[in-house]
Amino acid sequence: MKAEFINPFLESAVMVLEQVVQIKPQTGPIGLKELRGQSDFIWIQIQLFGQVSGDIVFGMSEVSALRIVSAMMGGFQLSALDDMGKSAISELSNMISGNATTKLSSQGVHVDITPPALLQGSQLQLLESRKALTVPVILDGIGQMDIQVLLAS
CATH of residue 69: 3.40.1550.10
pTM, two decimals, is 0.90
On whether residue 84 sits in a domain, the answer given is yes
Strand partners, 80: none
Query: What is the C-alpha separation between 72 and 76, in angstroms, rounded?
Result: 8
On whether residue 37 sits in a domain, the answer given is no
Q: Over the stretch 78-103, which tens digit does the pLDDT of each residue have?
A: 888 889 899 999 999 999 999 999 99
Neighbouring CB atoms inside 10 A of 78's CB total 15
Q: Over the stretch 92-132, which tens digit does the pLDDT of each residue have?
A: 999 999 999 999 999 999 999 999 999 886 666 656 567 78
On whether residue 63 sits in a domain, the answer given is yes
Average of pLDDT values for 8-23?
Answer: 93
Range of the domain at 63: 3-28+42-151
| Positive/negative CA dihedral, 20, 21, 24, 28 | negative
Evaluate if residue 1 carries a pLDDT over 60. no
What is the count of structural domains for the chain? 1
On whether residue 121 sits in a domain, the answer given is yes
Evaluate if residue 153 carries a pLDDT over 60. no
On whether residue 36 sits in a domain, the answer given is no
On whether residue 9 sits in a domain, the answer given is yes
Torsions phi, psi of 151, nearest 5?
-100, 140
Residue 114's pLDDT is what? 97
Q: Over the stretch 25-72, which tens digit does the pLDDT of each residue have?
A: 999 998 888 777 677 889 999 999 999 898 999 999 999 999 999 999
Q: Over the stretch 126-150, which tens digit does the pLDDT of each residue have?
A: 565 677 888 999 999 999 999 988 8
